[in-house]
Amino acid sequence: MKYSKLEFSVGCFMLAGIGALLLLAFKVAGLTSNGQGETYTLYAKFDNIGGLKVRSPVKVGGVVVGRVSGISLDPQDQVPLVTLTLNKEVGQFAESSTATILTSGLLGEQYLGLNPGFADEEMGIGVLADGDTIADTQSALILEELIGKFIYSIGDN
Amino acid sequence: MLIDMIGGLGQKGMAAIIALGRAGFMLMHALVGRPQLRKHFPLLIQQLHVVGVQSVAIILVSGLFIGMVLALQGYNVLVDFGAEGSLGPLVSLSLLRELGPVVTALLFAGRAGSALTAELGLMKATEQLSSLEMMGIDPLRRVVAPRFWAGLLSMPLLAFMFSLVGIWGAKLVGVDWLGVDQGEFWSGMQAAVDWQEDVVQGFIKSLVFALLVTWIALFNGIDAEPTAAGISQGTTRTVVHSSLAVLGSDFILTAVMFG
């Protein structure tokens, strides 16, 4: 039994280290299991994505429903193509939904805002399925461009 | 005169490369081979106790104080901009990415690395290693390997504990003392810290540091001149070299991972 005390303390040490890792993961990094839930993919083309990044949140009315999983340049139209990964549990969006790039606060991070539209079978508006493209998009507001336009319009007057 | 200088420089360079080669041989010889789990596992446990468990106290206390100081300093700057809500991200990111792995490695080099070198150096000076060899036991497999694995296993765990306690210390100072909003502190932290980007890469860093520090410590012990002065030189070399190796490799790792 000479080893048992030693082994006990080493066991406690290992447990404490792994416990610290778990606490860091769940409490500090905010790792949650819903990232592993079922997802589906939508695409959206913008004229200008501003400061949107991969892993930026996709929000509906402020609620996070997914993430931006990829940003690339569409080779045919030469406009940015954003890939959205949305959680299946938030349901499907109508084809008339709009996607906008918004900024949280004046200088905060940029995120993608989804505005749910309505689906109407009589008018031929269905829902967006996996792999569809959101047609109605609005680009990011670029502060420098706005200021430039503003100064230009003052010059005209 | 000049030729002597250049010759000396070349000799020093050669010596450094030869030492590196010997260190590589030592590590390979210690680690490669058929594992004898039943014989070596108790040795590993014992070394984990010496290297890991006995380092816990110093890691926890320094982590707590570093977290508290970070919160205090960060708060003083951030409050000027009304951004004290960013205290959580500031503290957690700097601890997880940099201070956790690096300070743990430096403390580990001072606390456990120097002890490893002194122990091995004395074993060599008193010819314990040679007697093991005489008995047909490979000292590298029996003495060096368990110490190496113990260092490699325990340093990441110690770094996690350091970061966790540091964040807790920052919460003590920031939230409980200076009055940063608790919800803002935690939610800002959770929004800013990414599992893969920050926690996993911090883990990779501390694994690399563990490898470097234990390797340097063990090699300096094995390679020490078997005299009192030689052991003292080896111990000093361990602390100096491993601190430099940790800080230098930290720059390279940061440039590769976050650059």
**Chain A nearest CA to B74, separation (Å):** 18
**Least confident residue range of A48-62, B195-209, B214-228:** A48-62
Predicted pLDDT of residue B141:
85
Q: Which residues contact A37 (CB under 8 A, 6 or more apart)?
A: A87, A88, A89
A6: chain B residues, CB-CB within 8 Å: 45-46, 49
Subunit contact B52:A6, Cβ cutoff 8 A: no
B189: chain A residues, CB-CB within 8 Å: 28, 30
pLDDT 10s digits, A123-152: 777 778 888 888 888 887 777 888 888 888
Element (H, E) at A116: none
Subunit contact B195:A31, Cβ cutoff 8 A: yes
Subunit contact B190:A30, Cβ cutoff 8 A: yes
Gap between the Cα atoms of A140 and A49, Å rounded: 5
Question: Between the CA of residue A46 and those of A139, A145, B173, what are the distances in Å?
Answer: 6, 16, 45
Q: Which residues contact B73 (CB under 8 A, 6 or more apart)?
A: none
Most distant CA atoms of chain A, gap in Å: 93
B203: chain A residues, CB-CB within 8 Å: 21
Q: Which of A3, A13, A18 to mutate to test the interface with B (most CBs of B within 10 A)?
A: A13
Quote the tokens at residue B175.
């939230």
Nearest to B45 among A10, A28, A30 (CB): A10
B92: chain A residues, CB-CB within 8 Å: 28
pLDDT 10s digits, B51-102: 999 999 999 999 999 999 999 999 999 888 878 788 888 999 999 999 999 9
Q: Which residues contact B80 (CB under 8 A, 6 or more apart)?
A: none
Subunit contact A28:B191, Cβ cutoff 8 A: no
Q: What is the DSSP string of chain B?
A: -HHHHHHHHHHHHHHHHHHHHHHHHHHHHHHSS---HHHHHHHHHHHHHHHTGGGHHHHHHHHHHHHHHHHHHHHHHHGGGT-GGGHHHHHHHHIIIIIHHHHHHHHHIIIIIHHHHHHHHHHHHTTHHHHHHHTT--HIIIIIHHHHHHHHHHHHHHHHHHHHHHHHHHHIIIIIIS---HHHHHHHHHHH--IIIIIIHHHHHHHHHHHHHHHHHHHHHHHS-SSHHHHHHHHHHHHHHHHHHHHHHHHHHHHHHH-
Q: Which amino acid is at B173?
A: V
pLDDT band of B154, cuts 50, 70, 90 = very high
Crossing angle for the helix pair B201-223 and B2-31, to the nearest 10 degrees? 110
B152 touches chain A (CB under 8 A): no
pLDDT band of B158, cuts 50, 70, 90 = very high
Task: State the ipTM, two decimals.
Answer: 0.79
Burial B64-77 (b: 16+ CB within 10 A, else e): bebbbebbbebbee
Q: Which residues of A touch B (CB under 8 A)?
A: 3, 6-7, 9-10, 12-14, 16-18, 20-21, 23-25, 27-31, 55
pLDDT > 80? residue A109: no
Q: Cα(first)–Cα(last) distance of chain A, in Å?
A: 93
